[in-house]
Structure 1
Amino acid sequence: MVHASLRSFGEPVEGGADAILDALLSRGCTVLVPSFTEPQFGVAPPDTMRLSRNGIDYTTLPEVTVSPETPAYYTVDCGVINSGMGVLPTRLIARREATRGRHPLNSFAALGPQAAELVAAQSPADVYGPVRTLAERNGAVLLLGVGLNRMTALHLAEQQSGRRLPIRWARHADGRVYMVETGSCSEGFPRLEPWLRPLARTARVGASQWRAYPAKEALAAAVDAMTADQSMTRCSNSQCLACHDSVAGGPIGPIRLG
């Protein structure tokens, strides 16, 4: 699973993100990336789906605006991705051989020999299935010039530590709105660094600092840290509702996903 910042190299990368993808694929790797689409396919929640302690202030919901070019609902072949995900995921989903998950807001996409098996583990009711499968298969998480606040796998550790994941809303093809699991604030994840540091293999490529973590062991270490102190992942913004509600345990009430 790769998170990358091409800017971190300090100079242009010959071949760009495609060169990084090709290098990993040439080693026989399967490359897994987040390919989220929450701004494009998220919808406002109906009154009957507004859970409490859900990391959101329902009185200040942002107005949802949909671009005329965006489809009415998510499909695995829509080609849409949040530009904030970075260049590498954008280039990956553009490849004909890419496989993409069925989650309408937080999909994962993959290329390589085990792509289908990793992505098949995801559903609207199991957003981090691909991360769990990656760990079960002794995969790795690569941070190429980015920090732990970009390590999406740690959201699965939040769930495994006993938290319920935040709920957001998307639209079915028939127009119905439904609930899906998503991730919470990740800006406090760098506070887990002392627990993950012993597991990291590091390298410098140009000006870019690279770190590789064994997914299974990194998740276990993060779960141990959060279980011992749930406030461990709270970000520096004392007013962050997402962190407050997540640390408290996540949404309250019955949740019917999908």
Structure 2
Amino acid sequence: MDEGQDRSGEAVVDEGRDGPGAPVVNEAQEESGGPVTVRGERLARAVEALGLSGRPVLVHASLRSFGAPLDGGADSLVDALLGAGCTVLVPAFTEPWHSVPPPASDRPARNGLDYTLPYREAGHALSTPYAPDCGLVNPSLGVLPVTVVARPGTRRGRHPLNSFAALGPEAAALIDGQDPGDVYAPLRALAERGGRTLLIGVGLNRMTTLHLAEQRSGRRLFRRWARLDDGRIATVEVGSCSEGFPRLEPWLRPHARTTIVHGSRWHAYPVPEVLATIAPALAAAPTLTRCSADCRACADATAGGPVDAYPGTGVVLPG
């Protein structure tokens, strides 16, 4: 989102002289001429100012957006949220290691794939099936999910390609419903508990919650394939292309609360309201989320998703 959007309706939190955009430094370092860092206290104030205290929060973050190191790294951001009574939820996807090529017996049409091309994930696949304690996280998701997954007490879902991980008082309630047949159970649980999605220095194209809105609009999720614990291959559901999600900003703007921490722009969105707004908007105008005319994934998703697919999800395929 650009600067002008705040002037057109977003609720921007003003925290006064030491408010959004004010340089926040470690005073001891400032006096000694040392490097600037962003302190945990500043992160905690932002969490409180956005009304996140005591809530489950799905977090997508770019630590580079702060323009300075966090004092304590990604752990300081996790601690700021946990210290406010939040439960931290993050995507912890593992497609590069646990995807398998499309089986000949299950290649639905309109599935965001050209089956004549080599499957792009196959070159990285491990011979072992996914397990919640594997420790792997797709590097494209950034440092925060890796940090959460490594924390003692974190719970992680059982979806072999698109697991979520959570830490905090409501972690079990958010995570335990996720299995190979229900990829977005954590997002539904987040909505049921009045949770928030928090974007820290990233755009709407990172907002996983919108995939659940796509599903609720009537779109079928894409099918992919993964190996189960017993070695058999199952079909599972995953989301589509998200590069067109920024086009939903006019619908999301009235729900956003925004603050800035040392140059990092934070946007917090109430998940129930997001779903209630975006699902009918997509049902009425499916092409809203199409990122470009030549994106196969967007074309197939906005047309309704896979056809001629196996019914249900988590289906074990015949050999």
Please give the range of the TM-score, normalised by the shorter of the 2 chains: over 0.9
* 2:280 alignment partner, one of 214, 217, 224: 224
8 A Cα contact 1:199 1:218, kept in partner: yes
Are residue 243 (structure 1) and residue 298 (structure 2) matched? yes
**Residues of 2 paired with 1:41 and 1:170: CA distance?**
6
What SS does the aligned partner of 1:103 have?
Answer: coil
**One-letter amino acid matched to 1:2:** V
8 A Cα contact 1:3 1:33, kept in partner: yes
8 A Cα contact 2:182 2:313, kept in partner: no
Tell me which residue corresponds to 2:171: 115
Question: 1:103-159: CA deviations, max 9, x gaps?
Answer: 000000000000011001212111011001101110100001111000001000000
User: Larger Cα Rg: Structure 1 or Structure 2?
Assistant: 2
Are residue 58 (structure 1) and residue 112 (structure 2) matched? no
What SS does the aligned partner of 1:65 have?
Answer: helix
What SS does the aligned partner of 2:235 have?
Answer: strand
Tell me which residue corresponds to 1:20: 77
**Residues of 2 paired with 1:219 and 1:147: CA distance?**
18
Tell me which residue corresponds to 1:39: 96
1:252–1:120 CA distance, 2 compared to 1 (3 A): same
1:71-220 to 2 correspondences below 5 Å: 72-220=128-276
**Residues of 2 paired with 1:224 and 1:50: CA distance?**
29
What SS does the aligned partner of 2:220 have?
Answer: coil
**Residues of 1 paired with 2:102 and 2:286: CA distance?**
28
What SS does the aligned partner of 1:143 have?
Answer: strand
* 1:9 alignment partner, one of 66, 69, 74: 66
Report the Cα offset of residue 219 of structure 1.
Answer: 1.2
Question: 1:182-222: CA deviations, max 9, x gaps?
Answer: 01000000000000000000000011110000000011111
Where does structure 1 differ by over 6 angstroms across 4 or more consecutive aligned residues? Answer: none
8 A Cα contact 1:234 1:244, kept in partner: yes
Gaps of 5+ in 2: 1-57, 315-319
What value does the CA root-mean-square deviation take over the aligned residues?
1.1
TM-score, with length taken from structure 2: 0.78
TM-score, with length taken from structure 1: 0.96
**One-letter amino acid matched to 1:154:** L
8 A Cα contact 1:179 1:256, kept in partner: no
Report the Cα offset of residue 257 of structure 1.
Answer: 2.1
Equivalent residues, number = 255
Identity %: 59
**Residues of 1 paired with 2:127 and 2:276: CA distance?**
39
What SS does the aligned partner of 1:141 have?
Answer: strand
**Residues of 2 paired with 1:225 and 1:246: CA distance?**
15
What SS does the aligned partner of 2:258 have?
Answer: strand
8 A Cα contact 2:87 2:167, kept in partner: yes
**One-letter amino acid matched to 1:81:** V
8 A Cα contact 2:223 2:235, kept in partner: yes
Report the Cα offset of residue 255 of structure 1.
Answer: 3.0
**Residues of 1 paired with 2:118 and 2:212: CA distance?**
26
